[in-house]
Amino acid sequence: MLANCHFDSVANSPGASDDAVSCSVLLEALHSMSNLSTPLQHAVIFLFNGAEENILQASHGFITQHPWAKLVRAFINLEAAGVGGKEIVFQTGPENPWLVQAYVRAVKHPFASVVGQEVFQSGIIPSDTDFRIYRDFGNIPVFLTAVYDMM
């Protein structure tokens, strides 16, 4: 599994929610997993990439050039929009319902919406996420969560 976030931010932004908060979450997950007494059944690759705000260069470089990319069977991307709020699943593929089912089983209060997917597909927001790169260039089942605040 690939767990991904980006550490860069848009120009003139401190990048606290987009996407430093996700980097913190992945670092804590990595810390917790490294202290497990029982080894995991499958490998987890933690990717902290840059150039997400600059045409998704790092994720593209990883999925098209890194030898570990061939080992990835599923991908979780942590992202943010706004300054905080509730964690939501807002992009995933219909061809991989097992990812959503695993999320529903694992999360105490799962929350998802198709609005994010619709917004990105419509082009209303001239933006993109690593989701598209891994889906399109890696043909990997993708699951995107984001912290959002529409206020």
Find the CATH number of the domain harbouring 32.
Answer: 3.40.630.10
Catalytic one among 52, 79, 87, 118?
Answer: 52
Q: Structure pTM?
A: 0.82
Question: What pLDDT score does 81 carry?
Answer: 61
More confident residue, 61 or 18: 61
Taking every pair of Cα atoms in the chain, the longest distance, rounded to a whole number of angstroms, is: 47
Number of residues assigned to the chain: 151
End-to-end CA distance of the chain: 33
Write the pLDDT tens digit of every residue in 103-141.
889 888 888 877 767 777 787 766 778 888 888 898 888
Q: Is 52 a catalytic residue?
A: yes
Domain count, the chain: 1
Residues spanned by the domain of 108: 2-148
| CB contact burial 97-132 (16+ within 10 A = b; e otherwise) | eebbeebeeeeeeeebeeebbeebeeeeeeeebbbb
